[in-house]
A and B are shown apart, each in its own frame.
Chain A
Amino acid sequence: MAGTEHGEVEETLKRIEAHKGVIGTIVVNAKGIPIRTTLDNSTTVQYAGLLRHLTMMARSTVRDIDPQNDLICLRIRSKKHEIMVAPESDFLLIVIQNPCE
């Protein structure tokens, strides 16, 4: 990937947010505080808190089975939309999309 500098990542995140069907994106830092979000505060805090635990649990499961393995991404498909969570270096990236059929 050409460059993971700040500008590139920023652009990628902007593109994701502008993509069709994407309801919101949240970036959560290592302390659990959302540092970037396109949703309102209460929803953001709720998502961040709940998904953090779930991701930790999923990661623990994957690594418990094979310690050399690691979780890349967790996708939760619900009736209304799809929540995608990726833990990366203690940060958490959350994208909520409504896959239009």
Chain B
Amino acid sequence: MPLPNAAASMRKGSTVLKVTLPGVKSTKAASKKKDEEEGVDTGDGWDEWSHGKALKPPDQLELTEAELKEEVTRILTANNPHAPKNIVRYSFKERSYKPTSVVDQMAVHFVLEGSLLHQDSDEARRLRAREGLPDETATVDTGAEPDEDKPETPATPLEDGGDVEEAGEDDRPDSVASKTDRKEPKVTNQFNFSERASQTLNNPLRERSCQTEPPPRCIFSATANQWEIYDAYVEELQKQEINKEKQKAVTSKKENDKGKKKTMLMETQNDDNTKVGKASNIFERMVTQNTFDDIAQDFKYFEDASDEFRDQKGTLLPLWKFQYDKAKRLSVTALCWNKKYQDLFAVGMGSYDFSKQGRGMLVYYSMKNSAFPEYIYPTDSGVLCLDIHEQHSYLVAVGFYDGCVAVYNLKEEGLEPVYKSTAKTGKHTDPVWQVRWQNDDMDNNHNFYSVSSDGRVVSWTLVKNELVFTDIIRLSLNGAISEGPEGVQHPGIACGTSFDFHKQIDYLFLVGTEEGKIHKCSKTYSSQFLESYNAHSMAVDAVKWNHFHPKVFISCSSDWTVKIWDHTIITPMFTFDLNAAVGDVAWSPYSSTVFAAVTTDGTVHVFDLNINKYEAICQQPVVAKKKTKLTHIEFNPIYPIIIVGDDRGYVSSLKLSPNLRKKPKAKKGQEQPKGPEVEVAKMEKLLSLLREPEQNAV
């Protein structure tokens, strides 16, 4: 029943309306009233369960009698009560909100889309045109169409009837069409159509399949980096080169195969420690560096700042100490730096003691690894001297106590020397005290010189596989008469203990003898000395030309003195007394006025003639035990390091403090003068002070 429903809804509406604006109160009240009236009516209707009383909702407004009787007019307007009355729009022109005056009042309640077209509308006409029905035959169509329409409309609700009727009706429009002159295509009825189908016999399906073995799969992953691409190219290049070689000769191809076979064999012997050989060498150095980290840092960076306050004196900072277990009882008899790899030096070990002669050793150390030598060559007889070739730094010439000389090649794998002199090939009969490489001769053979106590200076040439010797000079005692048992006077043989070749003048060299004399000789004159100097009272242990000044050389001896000479003058320029037998002396490679000497009391003396002409600027004991004698000293060609060997088999390295390495000060504004000429000039200045005026004129 619609009325009570509406009333119920209105009642519901009333409860909701209570919360709306109070401005609508009048209408509300009116609605309330109406509610009540209707409520009374409905109350009568719902007698069964309302007990005859009006059903009041519990929250209904209480109104007085007068209010209830109030008449309210109700106006029907066409306004949509749900349309908003106060739409406000923001106007940008006026920059404020403005109420919209016109509000749409249309309320749409129900929409149903249909597909009927008016026959005169555009769309209908278009449809007809598409279907082929011309407009002129509109009357005929309208005649036909209503025929169609009529049976169709009743047919739509009942499809079954439609089917039957349609079948019949289809004929009629057809007949109508055939009656007309023009051909009328049939318009399909989109609402009513029939589907004709027939079921064919379906063959039963049978599935046939076969399974194959899946191809073996493996997961491949790789990265495409720049170096992978590079490697691929390099490989390709190598393959191409091998192909080229193969094409060139067949025999070489065979060799390649053999070689490949060999490498295959080698590879099967895997898990060999030798694979990490190179790395283990580097690691030994790294581990040593870690342990002796502070020494490495000192070597590289430490400069003694207190030298400024030390008044021209300098100090020596001890760095690494090199020793080899198996060489503990031997003394260091020779030291030599490698010119090419300036951290590498060779140590010859043997014994100076006449009675205690045993085996010897040739040991190479690198400053990078103070724990263990790089190369070790044990020898039968003690090594007394050695020299590393300047250009071919893998060749080292060694002189032994038994008079032999030998040449070792570091590149060769064995521990034997590549060349060795024997009694047949002219070895010395006495210990060889000094060897020196010389420039290659005219046939490009290497050659070196040796001097020995048997008084011979011999030149050895490396010809193919053997050592060819040539006596250069026989040292004789000038003017001395040795009393033989028969009383026959024959010229005595001097014993050479050291020699040195001039840096610039190739043929000129100096020989120091056991008698204390120094002879200036030439390679070309074998019988005569160019000059003789009465240098010392005991054997001359070392004689060295100055690296810069062509006239100056230095000599030292066990008679406690070190003397500096100008080879044109018979008397020494400088003499220094060091209070102990001097084992060795060496010029510094960076200055013409700096030299160092070692003595048997374990002290190193460093002199700089430019600073102090009479005293050493550094006198420092460098060995722990007092009894240790220092035997040799060498300056490093590029680093401010000296190595000192002693008679216990230790080699100590020391760093020179800045005061010991002074270069001549430049005058203000002038550029720092560089180069050997400066050094020469420095020395010359010193010497000129000492020369007598007459000699200057000469």
Residues of A within 8 A of B (CB): 1-6, 8-10, 12-13, 15-16, 19-22, 27, 29-30, 35-36, 60, 63-65, 67-68, 72-73, 75, 82, 84, 86, 88-93, 95, 97, 99-100
CB atoms of B271 and A29 under 8 A apart: yes
Q: Which residues of A contact B223 (CB under 8 A)?
A: 60
CB atoms of A97 and B276 under 8 A apart: no
Q: What 10 A-B pairs are tightest by C-beta distance, nearest first?
A: A67-B230, A63-B227, A4-B277, A86-B279, A67-B227, A99-B290, A93-B276, A9-B277, A88-B279, A91-B275
Interface size on B, residues (CB 8 A): 34
Q: Which residues of B contact A15 (CB under 8 A)?
A: 284, 371-372
- Chain B's closest residue to A3 (CB) is B413
- Per the bound structure, the CA–CA distance linking A57 and B42 in Å amounts to 92
- Per the bound structure, the CA–CA distance linking A63 and B226 in Å amounts to 7
Query: Is residue B274 within 8 Å, beta carbon to beta carbon, of the partner chain?
Result: yes
Q: Which residues of A contact B413 (CB under 8 A)?
A: 2-3
Q: Which residues of A contact B271 (CB under 8 A)?
A: 29, 35
CB atoms of A9 and B280 under 8 A apart: yes
Which secondary structure dominates chain B's binding surface?
helix
Interface residues of B in 223-243 (CB under 8 A from A): 223, 225-227, 229-231
Minimum Cβ distance to chain B for residue A61 (Å) = 9
CB atoms of B275 and A88 under 8 A apart: yes
- Per the bound structure, the CA–CA distance linking A85 and B279 in Å amounts to 9
Interface residues of B in 260-299 (CB under 8 A from A): 270-284, 286-288, 290-291, 293
Contact with B282, one of A19, A29, A60, A86 (Cβ below 8 angstroms): A86
Q: Which residues of B contact A1 (CB under 8 A)?
A: 277-278, 281, 374
- Per the bound structure, the CA–CA distance linking A60 and B223 in Å amounts to 10
Q: Which residues of B contact A89 (CB under 8 A)?
A: 275
Minimum Cβ distance to chain A for residue B335 (Å) = 20
CB atoms of A20 and B291 under 8 A apart: yes
CB atoms of B284 and A4 under 8 A apart: no
A9-B280, A27-B276 given; A73·B286 CB < 8 A = yes
Q: Which residues of B contact A99 (CB under 8 A)?
A: 290-291, 293
- Per the bound structure, the CA–CA distance linking A75 and B282 in Å amounts to 12
A19-B291, A19-B371, A73-B286 given; A12·B230 CB < 8 A = no
Query: Is residue B54 within 8 Å, beta carbon to beta carbon, of the partner chain?
Result: no
- Per the bound structure, the CA–CA distance linking A98 and B225 in Å amounts to 36
- Per the bound structure, the CA–CA distance linking A13 and B283 in Å amounts to 9
Q: Which residues of B contact A92 (CB under 8 A)?
A: 276
Contact with B278, one of A4, A5, A6 (Cβ below 8 angstroms): A4
Q: Which residues of A contact B288 (CB under 8 A)?
A: 19
Report 12 cross-chain contacts, Cβ distance below 8 Å, ordered by A residue.
Answer: A5-B274, A6-B272, A10-B273, A13-B276, A16-B287, A19-B284, A29-B270, A67-B227, A67-B231, A84-B283, A88-B279, A92-B276
Query: Is residue B410 within 8 Å, beta carbon to beta carbon, of the partner chain?
Result: yes
- Per the bound structure, the CA–CA distance linking A100 and B288 in Å amounts to 11
Q: Which residues of B contact A97 (CB under 8 A)?
A: 287, 290-291
- Per the bound structure, the CA–CA distance linking A80 and B276 in Å amounts to 26
CB atoms of A21 and B274 under 8 A apart: no
Q: Which residues of B contact A12 (CB under 8 A)?
A: 277, 280-281, 284
- Per the bound structure, the CA–CA distance linking A4 and B278 in Å amounts to 7
CB atoms of B276 and A88 under 8 A apart: yes
CB atoms of B283 and A95 under 8 A apart: yes
- Per the bound structure, the CA–CA distance linking A40 and B410 in Å amounts to 40
Interface residues of B in 335-385 (CB under 8 A from A): 371-372, 374-375
Q: Which residues of A contact B225 (CB under 8 A)?
A: 60, 63-64
- Chain A's closest residue to B286 (CB) is A84
- Per the bound structure, the CA–CA distance linking A59 and B413 in Å amounts to 32
A30-B270, A68-B230 given; A13·B291 CB < 8 A = no
CB atoms of B274 and A6 under 8 A apart: yes
Minimum Cβ distance to chain A for residue B42 (Å) = 88
- Per the bound structure, the CA–CA distance linking A88 and B213 in Å amounts to 42
Other than the given A9-B280, A88-B278, 7 more pairs (CB < 8 A) read A3-B413, A16-B284, A19-B284, A67-B227, A84-B286, A90-B275, A91-B279
Q: Which residues of B contact A16 (CB under 8 A)?
A: 280, 283-284, 287
Q: Which residues of A contact B290 (CB under 8 A)?
A: 21, 82, 97, 99
- Per the bound structure, the CA–CA distance linking A85 and B372 in Å amounts to 21
Q: Which residues of A contact B293 (CB under 8 A)?
A: 99
Minimum Cβ distance to chain B for residue A12 (Å) = 5
- Per the bound structure, the CA–CA distance linking A49 and B97 in Å amounts to 75
Q: Which residues of B contact A27 (CB under 8 A)?
A: 273, 276
Q: Which residues of B contact A67 (CB under 8 A)?
A: 226-227, 229-231
- Per the bound structure, the CA–CA distance linking A67 and B228 in Å amounts to 8
- Per the bound structure, the CA–CA distance linking A67 and B231 in Å amounts to 8
- Chain A's closest residue to B364 (CB) is A2
Contact with A93, one of B279, B291, B410 (Cβ below 8 angstroms): B279
Q: Which residues of B contact A10 (CB under 8 A)?
A: 273
Minimum Cβ distance to chain B for residue A87 (Å) = 8
- Per the bound structure, the CA–CA distance linking A17 and B622 in Å amounts to 31
